[in-house]
Amino acid sequence: MRGKQAKEPRACQVCGSKQHLVRAVAVRPAVAAFIRSEAGEWSETGWICEPDLDRARHRYVKSLLEEDKGELTTLENEVLESLRTHELLTTNVESEFESSRTLGQRVADRIASFGGSWPFIFLFAFVLFGWLFINSVLLAARPFDPYPYILLNLILSCLAAVQAPVIMMSQNRQEERDRLRAIHDYQINLKAELEIRHLNQKVDHLLSHQWERLLEIQEIQMDLMDELRAGRGTGGSGSHGAGA
């Protein structure tokens, strides 16, 4: 029987290919059932090629996501494609985001960064008190901006009117950066969840298959021990008969 099985040609049960084959018994039961539902035939003693197995896994995972989430989004399709092609999703979002900034966006980020720092507060306080000191003490007789400092109020109003939209531009870019980072984290977490689920099912399948093999080996050993005992018993009774 074993010689006959060894002489049987190895070929994929799906496409008939004879290259890059994997034993069908190593395929997870859920994926095997999915392949059986599509191909119609499936035997655990047969073989399947790696390309067909990868495509079957891809369609199986896609069907699971569609059952859980309904229609898949572009992000989820990208995760499935990376699983099928074994590509990495990990990228440096910060470097990609920074490299795409325009000149106006870089200027807005610098102004917003300086406007929200202690050096700006100290500089603003120094200019404000210097303005008041010059117009109230040094040029008290003929100040260029006498009390109530209308020119100073005009300058401060213009500064606030210009600074507010610049800061809003920088905040919008920060929100865009956070959104891209959240999307990237979601894709990585989804892929990790699918990979972990796949590994857990595969390990469970391999352990159950290993236990079945161990039980078969144990049964064979028990049969051999019974045969040895029976042989010894037959030999012992024959020797007693010859002595009589």
Q: Give the pLDDT confidence of 139-171 residue by residue, as tens digits.
A: 878 888 888 888 989 999 998 888 888 888 888
Check pLDDT > 90 for residue 174: no
Alpha carbon 80 to its chain centroid, in Å, reads: 10
164's CB contacts (< 8 A; 6+ apart) are none
Nearest-angstrom CA–CA distance, 220 and 5: 20
pLDDT score recorded for residue 125: 92
Residue 85: band (very low, low, confident or very high) from pLDDT cuts 50, 70, 90: low
Count, in order, helices (H) and strands (E) of the chain: 8, 2
Q: In whole numbers, what is the pLDDT of the chain averaged over residues?
A: 76
